[in-house]
């Protein structure tokens, strides 16, 4: 079978059942020659092509299915993934990249680093403890969640301290290797390396600030040795250590910790090939030298897509006895690889490191892209020809590996060249009016004319809000019935009249609930929206959409990023009707809800044929049109969410100022022309904000709501350090990603902590994030307690004056 026919026909998941109980057969490896090609995949999506893992997890959490049924779905998914790679001809197939929730949490379980509040008393960690750490339970909160480097994936942050008693408490890596081997597949087990694990961690609550997490390397290395020994005993010939932290600007102590850890591990590496994999950026030159100087390591993996300077480092020297795993196929976007260009790079690399030492690979795990283009039956044919999802990228990797050894599939390469030529020449990609509008932006900094303090005074005179005003972030629970109405309208099973009436009924219910709860600034609940980015993308030009292009965000939460293929503009108003309808139902202020340009950009698959900031400016102009229409319609508070501003921050410090400059300017473009009395809010969630606080201030929003509760009020520390913030601010008072309902007393305590560093005249009270994923049985009591806590503190403040 040719690579071209594989690309269009291979769908290893077609027989995957939701709760299969039939064990997969032992898989016979193909005997054809492409099996010998040197090809490698860093990692693969685990959710399934139609979110099979999501549905299995949520069924288990709701008590509708058993642990054994969940494990069977997981086993079916793993088998399908391994089978696909083997049939294509991948030589180095990863294992232990599957996870029930998060691969960093899996490492925490492997090391037995369970925080004491979860009541774990030793032994193999099971689902009860594992999911309590991820999601919390009725009595204790979940562990913190934050963004995985500069991606939209979230990981569970390890909580470590000097008293953690590490132990080998999860044998998942070995079990999955043995599972694959029993099926006839020799895989490459993947582990998060010790340096990255420690740098991704945080000090546990109560740990002295002077404590260095890096000092724990001596305690965790022995457990890594145990894992390596077990894998070797099971027959593993390669083990992959992922060390993405190596692309950061490491301090001398951090780099020395890396060197010491692998020097200590060196003795255990005898008899097995070790690959150290890096991704998401270039490895700095000093780190590159330290990395490639390691003994008893067989290969090194580099991201040659985002790592634009890596090729020069390789030219300066690469050890002759090592393998180079060359990440030339983009693991973070969905555009078809330019095979001819990649082959040229690989041939250059052969000249540097030797003909038999180059392994063709993905730039990073394919976790960050959609699963299989075969499932996209409704996608525009021309645009579809420009794309490659994870399954197709596996085929691309092996096609390049074959071509590198003289087995080039001419038809496959010709088809690829045709698709690239089609994209370059397509008239739907470029809009001259949009291009001219972006050029015209360069003559202004797009700031509002007056200071934030003057604007807040004018807004308060108009809005007359109490101190500690309460609000929510935007969305309310999306019930099964609500989703059904949207599906039926999209499928044209109900009329537009019936759809609009159903949405109005839902909005009315949400408005009445908020009024009954006593919330001060209302939202309409966003019942008409499927996703905060997709909803807008569907109404903007230059976007395309998938049916099953799902990507894991965290746990069972998946998103379906739009595809930005061309210049962006707004043909018509997008939200004015719904916001105006909601405002007509109440006398209280109603927020108009928009997604900001940086978040739309960072949560989409973005075109790679022009600079990202140019695309962001185009989106900003479209959102500006919507803001001005909302203001004309009488909406006095407009929230422009920039939930993803932080995650787009480049990993290397030298590249961060330019990003923050154009990202902040993009936000300001959206609202620079509104009146002083129009209050502009923004929202950010689940990231480390303290290092960009000055950029946040520079956004010049009137009010910012921001995640705070799950990170143990880490955000508040920046105000302890004397940062002056004059705008309104609402650090989240409770975590909406956990089903746990906080008490009034707990919430009042959180508010008092905020008042210790923030003036009560600027503090807002709100949850961490939108309520879309929660149930009304959780939302109503939590919001009731939140409002009660705000009223309690108001009374206390009034009595103290």
Q: Which residue has tokens 């030793």?
A: 122
Helix (H) or strand (E) holding 203: strand 202-203
Short-list 342, 412, 563, CA closest to 7: 412
Q: How far is CA 775 from CA 264, 521, 551, 709, 738, in A?
A: 49, 21, 23, 19, 11
Q: In 3D, which of 306, 459, 301 has the Cα closest to residue 368?
A: 306
The enclosing H or E element of 636 equals none
471 strand-pairing partners:
521
Q: Rounded CA gap, 639 and 730, in Å?
A: 13
Cα 694 from Cα 709, distance rounded (Å): 21
- Contact present, 192 and 88 (Cβ < 8 Å): no
Which residue shows structure tokens 């010790």?
A: 194
Say which residues have a Cβ less than 8 Å from residue 480's Cβ, sequence separation at least 6.
Answer: none
**DSSP label at residue 90:** -
What is the helix (H) or strand (E) element at residue 694, kind and residue range? helix 693-698
CB 412 within 8 A of CB 342: no
Separation between Cα atoms, residue 64 and residue 43, nearest integer Å? 30
Return the structure tokens found at 648.
């787009």
Both tokens of 458, joined, read 């004018």
751 within 8 A of 765, measured Cβ to Cβ: yes
Select which of 368, 446, 613, 737 is catalytic.
Answer: 737
| Residue 259 DSSP SS3 | helix
Look up residue 30 and give its DSSP letter.
P
Strand arrangement of the beta sheet that strand 637-641 belongs to: 591-595, 637-641, 679-684, 703-706, 728-731
Residue with tokens 């109005």, as numbered in its chain? 504
Local structure of 638: helix, strand or coil:
strand
Greatest alpha-carbon pair distance for the chain in Å reads 83
Helices of type H across 276-387:
285-292, 310-316, 339-353, 381-384
DSSP, residue by residue, 142-159: PPPEEE-TTSS-EEEPPE
Task: Say whether 267 sits in a helix, a strand or coil.
Answer: helix
H and E: helices and strands count for the chain: 28, 21
- Nearest Cα neighbor of 164 from 204, 130, 209, 119 is 204
Nearest of 13, 85, 83, 86 to residue 51 by alpha carbon:
13
Which DSSP state fits 32? S
Range list of β-strands (E), 570-686: 591-595, 605-606, 637-641, 679-684
Q: Which two tokens stand for residue 611?
A: 């600079």
What token pair was written down for 114? Answer: 């369970």
Please work out, in degrees rounded to the nearest 5, the angle formed at the alpha carbon of residue 496 by the alpha carbons of 490 and 499.
75
Token pair listed for 585: 């139902």
Q: Cα torsion at 220, 221, 227, 228 (round to 10°)? A: 170
Distance (Å) of CA 120 to CA 131, 215, 328, 671: 12, 24, 43, 50
Q: Which two structure tokens, joined as six digits, stand for 192? A: 């998060």
Active site residue 737: yes
With 0-12 / 13-18 / 19 or more C-beta atoms within 10 angstroms meaning exposed / middle / buried, residue 205 is: exposed
CA-based end-to-end distance of the chain: 81
Six-digit token string for 705: 């709501």
Give the catalytic positions in this structure: 737
């Amino acid at each position: 079978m040719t690579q071209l026919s594989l690309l269009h026909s291979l769908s290893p998941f077609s027989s995957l059942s939701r709760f299969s109980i039939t064990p997969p057969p032992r898989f016979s490896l193909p005997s054809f020659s492409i099996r010998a090609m040197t090809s490698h995949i860093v990692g693969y999506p685990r959710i399934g092509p139609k979110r099979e893992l999501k549905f299995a997890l949520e069924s288990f959490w709701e008590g509708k299915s058993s642990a054994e049924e969940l494990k069977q779905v997981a086993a079916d998914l793993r088998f399908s993934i391994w089978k696909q790679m083997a049939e294509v001809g991948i030589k180095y197939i990863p294992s232990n990249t599957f996870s029930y929730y998060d691969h960093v949490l899996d490492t925490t379980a492997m090391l037995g680093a369970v925080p004491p509040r979860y009541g774990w008393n030793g032994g193999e960690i099971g689902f009860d403890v594992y999911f309590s750490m991820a999601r919390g339970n009725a009595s204790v909160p979940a562990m913190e969640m934050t963004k995985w480097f500069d991606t939209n994936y979230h990981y569970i942050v390890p909580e470590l301290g000097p008293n953690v008693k590490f132990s080998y408490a999860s044998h998942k890596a070995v079990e999955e290797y043995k599972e694959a081997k029993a099926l006839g597949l020799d895989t490459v087990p993947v582990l998060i390396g010790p340096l990255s694990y420690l740098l991704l961690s945080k000090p546990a609550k109560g740990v002295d600030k002077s404590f260095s997490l890096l000092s724990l390397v001596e305690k965790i290395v022995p457990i890594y040795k145990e894992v390596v020994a077990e894998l070797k005993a099971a027959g593993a010939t390669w083990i992959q250590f992922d060390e993405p932290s190596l692309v950061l600007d490491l301090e001398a102590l951090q780099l020395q910790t890396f060197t010491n850890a692998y020097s200590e591990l060196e003795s255990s590496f005898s008899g097995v090939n070790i690959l150290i994999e890096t991704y998401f950026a270039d490895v700095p030159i000093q780190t590159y030298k330290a990395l490639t100087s390691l003994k008893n390591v067989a290969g090194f993996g580099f991201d040659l897509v985002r790592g634009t300077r890596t090729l020069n480092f390789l030219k300066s020297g690469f050890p002759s006895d090592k393998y180079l795993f060359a990440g030339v196929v983009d693991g973070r976007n969905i555009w078809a690889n330019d095979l001819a260009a990649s082959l040229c790079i690989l041939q250059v690399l052969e000249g540097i490191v030797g003909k038999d030492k180059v392994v063709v690979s993905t730039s990073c795990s394919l976790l960050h892209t959609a699963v299989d283009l075969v499932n996209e039956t409704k996608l525009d044919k021309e645009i579809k020809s420009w794309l490659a999802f994870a399954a197709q990228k596996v085929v691309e990797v092996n096609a390049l590996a074959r071509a590198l050894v003289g087995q080039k599939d001419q038809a496959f390469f010709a088809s690829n060249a045709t698709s690239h030529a089609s994209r370059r020449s397509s008239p739907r990609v470029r809009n001259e009016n949009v291009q001219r509008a972006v050029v015209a932006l360069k003559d202004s900094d797009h700031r509002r004319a007056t200071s934030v303090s003057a604007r807040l005074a004018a807004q308060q005179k108009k809005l007359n809000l109490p101190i500690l005003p309460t609000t929510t972030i935007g969305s309310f629970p999306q019930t099964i019935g609500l989703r059904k109405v949207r599906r039926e309208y999209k499928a044209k099973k109900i009329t537009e009249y019936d759809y609009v009436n159903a949405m109005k009924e839902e909005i009315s219910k949400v408005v009445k609930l908020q009024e009954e709860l006593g919330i001060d600034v209302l939202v309409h609940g966003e019942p008409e929206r499927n996703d905060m980015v997709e909803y807008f993308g569907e109404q903007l030009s230059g976007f395309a959409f998938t049916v099953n292009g799902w990507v894991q965000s965290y746990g069972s939460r998946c998103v379906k990023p739009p595809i930005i293929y061309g210049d962006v503009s707004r043909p018509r108003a997008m939200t004015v009707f719904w916001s105006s309808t909601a405002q007509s139902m109440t006398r209280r202020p109603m927020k108009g809800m928009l997604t900001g340009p940086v978040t739309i950009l960072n949560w989409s698959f973005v075109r790679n044929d022009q600079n990202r900031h140019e695309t962001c400016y185009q989106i900003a102009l479209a959102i500006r049109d919507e803001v001005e229409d909302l203001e004309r319609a009488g909406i006095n508070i407009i929230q422009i969410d920039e939930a993803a501003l932080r995650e787009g921050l480049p990993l290397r410090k030298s590249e961060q100022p330019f990003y923050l400059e154009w990202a902040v300017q993009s936000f300001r473009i959206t609202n620079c022309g509104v009146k002083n009395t129009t209050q502009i809010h923004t929202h950010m969630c689940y990231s480390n904000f303290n290092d960009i606080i000055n950029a946040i201030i520079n956004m010049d929003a009137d009010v910012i709501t921001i995640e705070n509760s799950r990170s143990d009020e880490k955000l508040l520390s920046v105000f302890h350090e004397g940062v002056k913030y004059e705008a309104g601010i609402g650090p989240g008072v409770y975590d909406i990603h956990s089903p746990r309902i906080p008490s009034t007393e707990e919430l009042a305590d959180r508010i008092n902590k905020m008042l210790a560093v923030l003036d009560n005249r600027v503090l807002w009270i709100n949850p961490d994030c939108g309520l879309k994923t929660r149930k009304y049985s959780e939302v109503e009591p939590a919001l009731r307690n939140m409002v009660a806590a705000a009223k309690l503190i108001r009374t206390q403040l009034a009595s103290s004056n």
